[in-house]
Amino acid sequence: MLTKKDSWIYCIQFISMGGIMGREYSLQEAVALALKAEKDSMDFYRRAASVAKDERAKKVLELLANEEVGHLKAFFAHYKGTEYGDVQSCINAPVDTKNPTYVKLEKAITEDMVEQKALELALFEEKECIGQYTQLAQGVVDPAVRAVFERIVQETQGHYALIESEYAHIMGMVHESDQDTFVRE
């Protein structure tokens, strides 16, 4: 069984190999991987939001979960596989509870560290996603699908900034806007 990271590497290698099984198949591999990543991400944020006690963090996690639904739908529109059925079945498909990030989240829940740990895990995952989608986009020839990857990279950068800001808030650190004021003075 390939891990998510192995799958990405495999996929990028596959795309760069070109030709062997045809471009369309490579494109569908990329879309399938992105779809799985978005589904995992959505499930992660939904679970974190459902158990977060801090109201503000809960809202941020809910917002992120909804944005991942949007990403999932954007990729699903280009997905030609049949394993999920329709888009709603894909959204409602069982959670991959063996996903390493999800496992870490569950551990944080039992340790009553959900907000802090969820945001830390999210920062790591969103950064990975930016790198992986940027690489994948370069191998995608179809302009419509490439545009989806590029748009989602931008939105994921927005997620990263939002999570970073919320993390600073949770940790009681000086907020970036306060820091700006401090620097200017």
Q: How far is the CB of 183 from Fe ion (least distance, A)?
A: 32
Q: How far is the CB of 117 from Fe ion (least distance, A)?
A: 19
Amino acid identity at 72: L
Q: Which residues 147-166 are close enough to bind Fe ion by CB under 5 A?
A: none
Q: Which residues 64-83 are close enough to bind Fe ion by CB under 5 A?
A: 68, 71
x-marked contacts with Fe ion along 90-129 as a string, rule CB under 5 A: ----------------------------------------
Residue 68 or 115 with smaller CB distance to Fe ion = 68
Alpha-carbon radius of gyration of the chain: 18
Residues in Cβ contact with 161 at an 8 Å cutoff, skipping those fewer than 6 apart: none
Distances (CA, A) of 82 to 64, 89, 122: 27, 11, 29
Q: Which residues 38-57 are close enough to bind Fe ion by CB under 5 A?
A: 38
